[in-house]
Amino acid sequence: MSISLMNDKRLPTERLAVVSYVIVGVIALLLFGFWKLQIIDSDRYSQMAERNRVRSIPIIAPRGSMLDREGRVLVDNYPSFSVLLLRDAPEQVEKLLPQIADGLGMTLADVKQEIEASRAMPKFQPIVIKPEASPSDIAFIESHRVDIPVLEMLMVHRRRYPHGDMLANAVGYVGEVSAEQVEASDSSLKPGDIVGKTGLERQYNGTLMGTDGLRRVIVNSIGKEVGRLEQKDAIPGKPIQLTIDYDLQNVADTYMADKEGAVVAMDPRTGEVLAMVSRPTFDPNDFAIRIPNAEWQELNTDPRTPLLNRAIQGQLAPGSVFKIVMSAAMLESKIVPANFTAICPGHAEFYGRTFHCWRPAGHGVVDLHKAIVDSCDVFFYTLGQRLGIDEIHKYGTGLGLGRATGIDLPGEQAGLMPSEEWVQRVYHHKWYAGETISVAIGQGAVTVTPLQLARMIGAVASGGDLPQPHLLKNLAAKMDRFPLAEETVEQVTQGMYGVINEGGTGSSLKLQNIEFSGKSGTAQLMSYGAGSKMGQKGKETNGWFVGYAPRRNPEIVVAAVIQGSSEHGGTTAGPVVRDIVKAYYDKKSGIKVQEYTAKEGRPKVLATSVDDPSLTVDQPNR
């Protein structure tokens, strides 16, 4: 057989040549394929290769802490982990979603919602799908590095409010930036950023918020980090020091724990806010992770409005505290002489209507000093009638009512200081002269915030200094002045001293060796125009006490309001004011406040105070 094979010399030359051409053609075709990938589409594939191997992981900048005026920590952070989802390969992510949801203890719908919320972000940016990773989540991620390479853990700094709800309304809370905020931020904010939502957290967000860094790492095909490319360190947010004095805040907070209302303490010389409490309140720690929708709804729709900072947002009738404005107006305007007196038989008639004094038996002949000390309504009714609403408006506004104080907190309310012009503008009718009588004792249309009242009393006692209240220690506060004559200041402050020290409406609040002065108020909860319903609301009153010390040129002024109590302002609100002032002086003389509160406990509130025990709401104000 080999012979025959060897003999056959016919070779298909042509067909062999064809095979050669085919070889050249195929090689050329393959080279073209490489040309297309490596030259024409090279950039695209280079990017894909880069995305394959490089993973950008944000380094979250810690938010600046908040310290009290002595450097004690009020707000700080704690380290925690968030679960990140890497979305470089959307199809892969899609496939793994059920596993991811299961492993992280979330519902598939939740996971999808998280992804949907960030769909505007570029794909190479990982998103947070679970803000607070539990130990079992971390274990899940670590053990599924290979089959679920799209999960990553992110070290974050979680906001911590070590004192819980103390100062919550002033400090505010943080939360994930809203879509609107991102849009309005000029790309300085990105979805998922934690920003201050209310209070100081929001006011000083720019200072508190740092700049996130970025870690670019090389990962291999199973997502394991094998190298580090570059790291842009996070720039931590700056801490801010507040004017708050933790000790005074603590005194206020303890007293207010189970009450409804607000307390604000301020240095009337500088506007530094020493304490600020609003009740009921919330625990901002609840917001630090990501507040469940239901809980948020509850807080937001709670009729007791825990999110409202009553110290600056509660617009309340000032009641008898307003009589200080009236007194200043009387002495400054000189419309009535300084020795002006009224006779109080327990009631008086104005414009065909009877107005009651809080003391049905009456106060007899009353001059300004006695009127302040005993809070005689008839005196101020009469004074109001003589001054007229526009004169009252002038001094009320001058002393800071009806306009925002300019405190460094968002959402401050201005209250209302009515005038003829205002009623014309808003209600399109003439001012009813009878309304002036109500306004004269701090009822009717006039509303104020606790902060405004504190500032007003401070201004009267200091001769007209109206500093911008503030919580940031090194804020250059604007100073407003409404100069009052020496005579005016002396007379009115003598009256306020008498309230406490001469058997007035706050005589249970006396403090030894301290010129503690102030003014009480008990205001009906009535809106403007609801005068006819007076008395129908039963026990709904606001008990005020605004106290300060010393009598002239005060160092501290405290306004407190207890809402929804039937008791007199001096009884309900007075003690906390006194305690704060006492704590202030104790600290000054080197006594530790903690020791003071621990030893003596909270001073007992004396129900049998000053005034007629037969207090009812028919008797408007003291």
Partner 1 sequence: MQKGTSIRDYDWWLLATAFAICGVGVLEIWSATHASHLAGMHTHQMEWIGLGFVLMLLLSRLDYHTIMDQAPLLYLIAIVALIAVLAMGHTRFGAKRWLPILGGLLQVSELVKLIIIVVLARFFSEVRTEELSLLDLIKAAALMGLPLALIMLQPDLGTALVLVPLAAVGAYLAGLQWKHSLAIVALAAIMVPVGYHFLKPYQRERVTTFLRPEDDPKGAGYQILQSKIAVGSGGFWGKGLGNGSQNQLGFVPVRYSDFILAALAEELGFAGVFVALLLYMFLLLRLVQNAQRAHDRAGMFLIMGVAAVLGFHVLVNVAMVIGFMPVTGIPLPLMSYGGSATLFVFLALGLVMNVRLRRFVN
Residues in contact with partner 1 by the rule CB under 8 A:
1-2, 4-13, 15-16, 19-20, 23-24, 26-27, 30-31, 33-35, 37-39, 41-42, 44-46, 48-50, 52-53, 89, 91-92, 95, 218-222, 226
Is the CB of residue 168 less than 8 Å from the CB of residue 282?
yes
User: Which lies closer to partner 1 via its Cβ, residue 221 or residue 301?
Assistant: 221
Is the CB of residue 462 less than 8 Å from the CB of residue 553?
yes
Task: Write out the two tokens for 400.
Answer: 């800071």
User: Which lies closer to partner 1 via its Cβ, residue 13 or residue 512?
Assistant: 13
CB of 17 to partner 1, least distance (A): 8
429 burial type by CB count under 10 A (0-12 exposed, 13-18 middle, 19+ buried): exposed
User: Which lies closer to partner 1 via its Cβ, residue 8 or residue 186?
Assistant: 8
Q: For residue 333, how many other CB atoms are within 10 A of its CB?
A: 15
User: Which lies closer to partner 1 via its Cβ, residue 22 or residue 365?
Assistant: 22
CB of 256 to partner 1, least distance (A): 59
CB of 311 to partner 1, least distance (A): 57
Task: Write out the two tokens for 11.
Answer: 């070779």
User: Which lies closer to partner 1 via its Cβ, residue 46 or residue 297?
Assistant: 46
Reduced DSSP (H G I as helix, E B as strand, rest coil) percent helix, strand, coil of the chain, to 5:
40, 20, 40
Task: Write out the two tokens for 614.
Answer: 């037969």
Q: Which residues pair with 549 in a beta bridge?
A: 556
User: Which lies closer to partner 1 via its Cβ, residue 226 or residue 294?
Assistant: 226
27 burial type by CB count under 10 A (0-12 exposed, 13-18 middle, 19+ buried): exposed
| Residue 224 DSSP code | -
User: Which lies closer to partner 1 via its Cβ, residue 18 or residue 343?
Assistant: 18
Q: Which residues pair with 79 in a beta bridge?
A: 157
CB of 57 to partner 1, least distance (A): 17
Is the CB of residue 240 less than 8 Å from the CB of residue 207?
yes
Instruction: For residue 347, give Cα distances in angstroms to 323, 385, 543.
Output: 17, 14, 22
CB of 55 to partner 1, least distance (A): 11
User: Which lies closer to partner 1 via its Cβ, residue 19 or residue 179?
Assistant: 19
Q: What is the DSSP string of 231-254?
A: EE--BPPPPEEBS--HHHHHHHHH
User: Which lies closer to partner 1 via its Cβ, residue 2 or residue 187?
Assistant: 2
Residue partners of 124: CB distance under 8 A and separation at least 6: 51, 56, 87, 88
Q: What is the DSSP string of 405-439?
A: ---SSTT----B---HHHHHHHHSSPPPHHHHHHH
CB of 12 to partner 1, least distance (A): 5
CB of 257 to partner 1, least distance (A): 58
Residues 566 and 283: their CA atoms lie apart, in Å, by 28
User: Which lies closer to partner 1 via its Cβ, residue 5 or residue 294?
Assistant: 5
Task: Give the sign of the dihedral formed by CA 20, CA 26, CA 30, CA 31.
Answer: positive
Is the CB of residue 349 less than 8 Å from the CB of residue 379?
no
